[in-house]
Structures are given as C-alpha cells and as structure tokens.
A and B are shown apart, each in its own frame.
Chain A
Amino acid sequence: MDTLILSRIQFGANISFHILFPTITIALGWVLLFFKLRFNATGEQKWMDAYMFWVKIFALSFAMGVVSGITMSFQFGTNWPGFMETVGNVAGPLLAYEVMTAFFLEAVFLGIMLFGASRVKPWVHTLATFLVAFGTTMSTFWIIVLNSWMHTPQGYELRDGVVFATDWLAIIFNPSMPYRLVHMLLASGLTVAFLIAGISALRLLWGDRAESVKTTLRFGIITGAALIPLQILAGDFHGLNTLEHQPAKVAAMEGNWETGPNVPLLLFAVPDEEARENNFEVGIPNGASLILTHELDGVVPGLNDFVAEDGTELHPPVAPVFYSFRIMVGTGMAMLALSWAGLYLLRRYGAGDMPTLPLYGFAAMSFSGWIATLAGWYTTEIGRQPWLVQGVLSTKDAVSDVPAGMVLGTLLGYLAIYAALTFAYIAVITYLARKASRGEPLSSRRYPRSGEAEVAVMHPGE
C-alpha cells in the first residue's frame, strides 16, 4: 500500500473516531440545558438527577472529542500539506473562526459547567451550560461550512493553481451547506436520543426504579420518534442537492451504471467494479427514479458517464459508497420502527412498566446513532473521491511525501489507541449506569434552583 491510501485510511480513522464524540456532545449539551431548565422551572429532583448522570457522560465525551480533534488539526499538515497550500485561503479563515468563536467558548465554560456549580450563582451555571451547548453548535456550523465547500465549492477564483476567496457569503452559504448542517444536527439529536433511551432502558432492566430513569426513557423515545421523520425528509432533500451538484456520488449510492429512466431502487446488490455491473440485485422497480426525480420514468445518472476517454475513472469507488448508504438508511429505518413502537408502548404501559423485550431493543440500539452517522459520512466523503475539493483539487495531489512505512506505523498506533479508548468509553458508560442503578448517589450536594438563595452546605475541604 502506498502513502496515499495509507494517509487516507489514517485520516479516515482519525476523523471517524473524532466524530463519534461531537455527535454526542452537540445535542447532549442542549439536552442538559433542557434538564437544567426543567429543574429550575419545576424543582423536581428527577430532572437534576438526570442532569447529574448525563453531565458525566457529556464530560467524558467532550474530553474524547477535544483530544481527537487536536489530532485533526495537525494531520492537515503532517499528511495533507497540499490541502492548505491550494485551498488555504478559504479553509484557513473558516477553521480560524471555528477555533476562535467555538473552541475557546466551549473549553472555558465547560470548566465552569463541570466544576463551578458550587462557586458561581445558579443562573451563571445555567448560562455556562448554555454557552457550552452554543459553542458546540457554532463549531458544527463552521466545520460543516468548510466540509460543504469541499463538496460544492463556489465564491473563489484560481490564480496559478491556488484558490483565492472572492465572495465570503457565497463560500459560507454554499449550495450543500444548509442541507448538510441540518442533516448533521438531526443526526446528533438522534444519536443522543437513542443513547439516552438505550442507557435508560438498560437501567430499567437492571431494576432501577428511579423517577429520573423513567423520565429520560420517555424523553429519549419521544425525541427519537419526533426527529427521525424530520431526518428522513432532510436526507431526501440532501440527496436531491447531491444529485444536482455531485451526480457521480448519487450514481454510486444507487449502484446505477447506465444513465437512463425507470431506474430501480436497489435494496441489495453486489457491485462488481471490474465488470462494471451488479450481481444479486434485489430492487423495487422505478424506485430510484421516483425518489430522485419524483417521476417513475425520471432519468438517473449512471457511473459509466464518469469515465474519461482513456478509461480513467472519474467517479468514486462504488462498493463502499453503495454499502455505507444502505447501512445508514437501514439503521434509520430501524430507528423509525423502534421509536414509533416505543411511542405506542409508552402510551399503553408507561415508562415504568414497559415490557422487557422493547427495553432490550432500545438497549441494543444505544449506539445506533454512531453507526448511522459513520455510514452517512462514509457515503458522502468516499462519494467525493477522487476529489478532495470537488473539481478543484484531487486527493492524490494533496498528500505528503512522508514514507509509507512511517504512515503505516503511526496508523497502527492510532488504531490501537482508538480501539482501546472506544472500548474504555463504552465500558465506563455502562459502569456509570450500573453504579447509578444500584442507587449510589450521584452527588451529595443539594442543588439550588435559579433565584433560590443557596444554602451554605460546607463539604470537607471546601
């Protein structure tokens, strides 16, 4: 394997590991703010218990996200120097704004959010919680702007092979940005909804009868059931946008080789890139045409349109895009089925008396958001190949000339650490859930509501 493919795997591994944690913290920050505001409004202890439990998982996820994110900023230089050299004039300011408007905000107020409750007034603590949630969302905005610009670049001009920005509004509001941003924010919401529902279900299965667990189960199911139809809709819009701007990607997602009307929606197939055809096709007639053009005989682009005269492929590798897309959609459908069934069961039995089987279902789906998110990102990012920036810079032109052995060695190092940390992360979350299920207190501190005078409770050493 050469430096190019190894560098791609390494960047893919780093960013895959990284995205797991922001996907949780983006939405969980807002969920924590919601729990806190509910407590402020009602004074019910269950909301504070929910906050206390989930803020621990938030802190852990945040730390994982921060350290894996630092890796990303260095990898632009260590592995992809051509990226910044060519499009640095656009990517640079966007990354700078992310660091300045989001990272510091999150990092500083996280300290106050996690450790400051006993040192600041309740409203300051609520404000800190808000600013952390706001910061994570700002960070999402800027990085999605940059990522979307790499898919649908505009507002620039090329001078001597280097990109110069000409219109910042066009760069920021590039055609795919709104779709991608909404799709990602909803993905984060769904990931957190299913994580909360899943861990709450697990605690109920372990015999935890706490009010807060029933509340969070209800919260997770209702949020998941509400967001998944929106996500399916947003995904459809995003697909139409991709069809307009990156038809080769859509052709790979659909596994469609020849441009034409009445293209079936393939539920399953084994794409054969050598023979340029699919084996074992199972499809719904006219399905892809209907979804992509909203007409049964709509024309869907085929991969064979994206081959140069000399036989060079100008479309992405088909199999990974084709399969990832199906994994994402399949996971989404499972989420739809489970959360809506959950809604019905909530009405029928209530959160406390839910039958065991659906609880196992939710527990099993705790990390389903991760699978869908990763599969979705693989679809869109592998689907961008062979371009790094669509039509502007190809991936192979941006890679560094570091020896392949060095890239391989460090890649193995990263993979080992990421595997160990992912394992430890999931283990600690389940450990925290088990500990809480045994009724061990989450905090000995009495939480004052906003506006309530804080009762001075002194702790040893405080």
Chain B
Amino acid sequence: MELFGDPAIWLPWTFAALMGLSILIYVILDGFDLGVGLLMPLAEETEKDRLVASIGPFWDANETWLVLAIGLLLVAFPPAHGIILTALYFPVFVMLVGLILRGVSFEFRAKAPITQKPRWNAAFFVGSLMASMSQGFMLGMYVMGLTWTVSHIAFALLTAVFLTVGYSFIGAAWLIAKTDGILQRRAVGWARGGIWGLILGIGAISLATPFVSPRIFDKWFSLPEFLYLSPMPILSLALVAYLWWQIRHLPRADDRMAWGPFAAAMALFALAFAGMAYSFYPYVVPEQITIYDAAAAPESLFIILLGTLFVLPAILGYTVLSYYIFRGKATELRYD
C-alpha cells in the first residue's frame, strides 16, 4: 500500500487510530477519576472533600474524551456505531445513568444543604460504580464478539469486576501522587488492595482474546510475529513487578517516586490497549465488519481530519495547561 495513496484506505486507518487514542486517553483519565469515586466509601468523612478536590478541575474534560471517542465511532464508522451500541443497549444505559449520577453529584454535594451531603457522596460512589462496571462489562462483551450467550455474559461480568478494581487502583495511584500525609498512606493501602484487579483484568483479556478466533490466535502465536510481539508481555510483566515493588515502599519520606505508580499504571493501560488494538485490527465490530467496510465517505472524513489537525494539538495543549495550573498536592477545592 502506497502511503496516502488510496483515501479509502488511509483515512479509515487514521480515524481508527484517532478513535483508539481517544479511548485510551479516556480510559486512563476517566479511569483515575472514576477510581477516586470508587474509593469514596473507604475514605473518612473528613477526607472526602480532598478526594473530590483532587479530580474536581479535571473530570469534565476527562469525560469529554469519551464523547470524542464515541463521536469518532459515530462519524467515521456509522454502521459499526449502530451495531455496537444496539448490541450493548442495556450496559450503555447503565453507564449513562452512572455518569449522570456521578457528574451531578460533584456539584450537588458542594451546594446542597450539608445534611444532604452524605446522600450525594453515596450517589457519587454508586454512579462511579455503575459507570466502571458497565464499561468493564462492555469491554468483555466486545472481546467476546458482542453476542449474548451465557458464557460470554459470565466473562463480561468477570471483566466488569476486574476493570472496576483496576480503575480503583489507578485512582489510588493518582491519590498517592496528589495527596500527602495520612491520606496518602491510606491511598498506598488502597493501591495494594486493588492491584490484583489490574493484573487479573489484563491477564483475562490477554488469555481470552487469542481463543476467541483463530485469526487472532495466529496473529500472536505464529513466527516471527511471536518474537516481535514478545516485548509487550515482557514489558507488562516488568511494569507489574515495578508497581508491586513501589507500593510496598511508598510513601517515602521525601515523597520521591510518588508519581511512579500512576505513570506505571498509565503505561500498563497503554500496553494492554495496544495489544487489544493489534488483535482486533482491522475489525471494528469483532470478526464482522472491518474499519474499511464501515468507514464513512472519504470526503466527509477528510473534512473532519482537516479540523482535527488544527484542533487536536490545541486541545492537548490546553489540557496540559490545566494539569499544570492545578499541579501539586490537592488541597481543599474552592469555588472562587
């Protein structure tokens, strides 16, 4: 294939890559703030404001990556969008209700009468739980080819639990970096309690995916691909070992390496995601529709791409600016 030769080839590929990037950024960014929501019931009443403060300025923009990802699916691969979302009708509903509850609780818990605060804290947790569980469920169903059989549902329920615990881990890793004192020590404890979700989740997906279809099996376990791909699992194992070792030794007196677990968790999410992308390519609906079959008209994709080239760097730029402005340890959040 000549690079930029046939727009019906490189445009779908580019959009699949952009969509993949959006999903990955979403999973990492909203992963940590959903995770913080999941940890709410474990925190003391007095710590809850700081938990929310650590994600308050970011969550809205984090969730926008989901809108972008689903938007790219919608605009670039319209038939796939319909098939995937109608197949996942109910889990999507659960996720949306969860995201609604969670998003409004941020504001309500700070503004409603103080006596109602525990109720909104509870809504915040329940919303986070619904969103995480349904996302994990949808991940499992997607891997299993979007067919509702008993064994597939069982697998999806398993991935729902693993992803939820995995989110709570990355949430705890975020808190290790963004808090100090007693809360930070507790966050390390939560990370120790949650790391198994991450490991089992990635393990389950990695083991199950090749056996879903012989095509994927061959993509991994034939020579020389197997050798080229071997750095991925090896690197993942190394990252898991690093995480394991770090959370045994954190927090350190001078707060050194407080960002270590979060960075390693990000890398692990990215590796796992790359593995999945490699497995499913070129299909957007597993084993049914490829990105090339589902792609919208090249002229429409080109119009979007043109805008993306200008806008995406700007988005990344001011996202970084926002994280820079709110750098440092999270303190009490002030609406002023």
Contacts and interface: CB of A to CB of B under 8 A. Distances in A.
B331 A461 contact: yes
Given A66-B103, A103-B67, A112-B322, A76 B79 contact: no
A120 to B, nearest CB: 6
B84 interface: yes
Nearest to A68: B100
Contacts of A93: 75, 300, 303-304, 307
A462 B111 CA distance: 21
A253 interface: no
A45 interface: no
B237 interface: no
Contacts, number: 225
Interface stretch (B88-96, B191-199, B206-214, B257-265): B88-96
Interface string B66-89: 111011111110110111111011
Given A84-B81, A100-B312, A114-B335, A402 B325 contact: no
A103 B85 contact: no
A95 interface: yes
A456 interface: no
Contact of A104 (B74, B299, B315, B336): B315
Nearest to B119: A424
A320 to B, nearest CB: 26
Given A56-B111, A104-B64, A421 B100 contact: yes
Contact of A71 (B60, B100, B106, B319): B100
Contacts of B307: 93, 96-97, 100-101
B207 to A, nearest CB: 30
Contacts of A115: 56-57, 326, 333-335
Contact of B68 (A85, A100, A461): A100
A222 B70 CA distance: 42
A63 B300 contact: no
A108 B108 CA distance: 20
A81 B336 contact: no
Band of interface residues on B: 35 or more
Contacts of B235: none
B334 A81 contact: no
B61 A108 contact: yes
Interface residues of A, number: 75
B297 A67 contact: no
B239 interface: no
A92 B112 contact: no
A118 B333 CA distance: 10
From A71, A164, A168, A462, name the one whose CB has the most chain B CB atoms within 10 angstroms: A71
B334 A459 contact: yes
A91 to B, nearest CB: 8
Contacts of A108: 61, 315, 318-319, 321-322
Contacts of A357: none
Nearest to A81: B82
A400 B82 contact: yes
B291 to A, nearest CB: 15
B141 to A, nearest CB: 14
Given A73-B67, A115-B334, A85 B311 contact: no
B104 A107 contact: no
Contacts of B107: 59-60, 63-64
B58 interface: yes
Contacts of A73: 67, 70-71, 74
Contact of A107 (B61, B72, B100): B61
Contacts of B88: 78
Contacts of B326: 111, 115-116, 119
Contacts of B312: 100
Contact of B78 (A92, A118, A402): A92
Contacts of A67: 99-100, 102-104
A398 to B, nearest CB: 10
B293 interface: no
Interface string B141-152: 000000000000
A30 B32 CA distance: 32
B104 A84 contact: no
B301 to A, nearest CB: 8
Given A60-B107, A84-B82, A97-B307, A92 B300 contact: yes
Find the residue from B96, B107, B113, B318 having the highest chain A CB count within 10 A.
Answer: B96
Contacts of B14: none
A406 B72 CA distance: 26
Chain B interface mostly helix, strand, loop or mixed? helix
Contact of A88 (B63, B67, B296): B296
Nearest to B316: A104
A276 B119 CA distance: 52
A95 B78 contact: no
Contacts of A60: 104, 107-108, 111
Contacts of B70: 73-74, 77
B43 interface: no
Nearest to B70: A73
B82 A428 contact: no
A120 B325 contact: yes
Given A115-B334, A117-B336, A92 B60 contact: no
Nearest to B88: A78
Nearest to B106: A63
Nearest to B330: A461
A109 interface: yes
A110 B303 CA distance: 28
B67 A99 contact: yes
Contacts of B83: 81
Given A410-B90, A431-B113, A89 B300 contact: yes
B47 interface: no
A50 to B, nearest CB: 14
A90 B296 CA distance: 10
B75 A96 contact: yes
A401 interface: yes
Contact of A70 (B57, B84, B99): B99
Contacts of B64: 99, 103-104, 107
A402 B86 CA distance: 7
A15 interface: no
Nearest to A55: B335
A417 interface: yes
B61 A92 contact: no
A58 to B, nearest CB: 10
A242 B64 CA distance: 35
A59 B335 contact: yes
Interface of B: 56-58, 60-61, 63-64, 66-68, 70-76, 78-79, 81-86, 88-90, 92-93, 96-97, 99-104, 106-108, 111-113, 296-297, 299-300, 303-304, 307-308, 311-312, 315, 318-319, 321-322, 325-326, 331-336
18 contacts: A60-B108, A63-B103, A77-B73, A77-B74, A77-B86, A89-B300, A104-B64, A104-B68, A104-B319, A107-B64, A108-B318, A114-B56, A115-B326, A115-B334, A118-B336, A119-B325, A431-B112, A459-B332
The 3 closest A-B CB pairs, nearest first, are: A81-B82, A92-B75, A77-B85
Given A115-B335, A118-B336, A460-B332, 7 more contacts: A73-B70, A74-B92, A78-B89, A118-B334, A424-B104, A428-B108, A461-B331
